Amino acid sequence: MIILEPFTPADFAQLIAWVNDERLMKEWSGSMFSFPLSESALTWYLEDANNMSDPNVFIYKAVDSRTGTTVGHISLGGISERDRSGRITRVLVGNTTERRRGVCQGMVKALLRIGFEDLKLHRISLGVYDFNLAAINCYLKAGFKQEGVLRDVVRHDEGYWTLIEMAILEDEWRTLYPAGNPTA
């Protein structure tokens, strides 16, 4: 099972080690960070994060509860209390040996539980590049629905990347997970 714990400066070295090439940096963060990832950039990233009294962004490390090992990173930002919405950003399954073991689904489901149960959100969205089939499948299995396609939104090398927009609504979440606690 995956549990989410607040991402802190103690986790910086692990994330920096995972984000070890420029393409992965762009896939993971869009244009938020420049390569190579640095501790100063992550310090800025954490400013005003994880504050329940003024929710704007929540940044987590994903921990395998069986081993206590950090296996990923995920954040929920763009939180609008008025619209009761948020956006999942910067999803990363860290160690390549952890991929295809349900870690992504566990992370996403744990974050959806926080969003819908703790923060009382109505809608949670995300964007994923169309070539990232593993992530798309993860999000579909977690209950997301595709809503649209933004063609050629990011330039990389001599080409462009297309973004798929996806979202899940609170009633869809409650239908899939009536107890509010998915097994991850």
Q: What is the pLDDT of residue 82?
A: 95
Q: Where in the chain are the domains? A: 2-125
Cα(69)–Cα(138) distance, integer angstroms: 21
Average pLDDT value for residue range 11-32? 92
Q: Which runs of E-coded beta strand occur in the chain?
A: 2-6, 58-64, 69-80, 85-93, 123-129, 145-156, 159-169
Percent of the chain scoring above 70 in pLDDT: 95
CATH dotted code for 2-125? 3.40.630.30
pLDDT in tens, 105-157: 999 999 999 999 999 999 999 999 999 999 999 999 999 999 999 999 999 89
pTM of the model: 0.93
User: What's the order of all strands across the beta sheet hosting 123-129?
Assistant: 2-6, 58-64, 69-80, 85-93, 123-129, 159-169, 145-156
Is pLDDT above 70 for 98? no
**33 conformational bin, left if phi > 0, alpha if psi -120 to 50, beta if neither:** beta
Mean pLDDT score across all residues of the chain: 92
Taking a C-beta distance cutoff of 8 angstroms, is the pair 79, 119 a contact?
yes
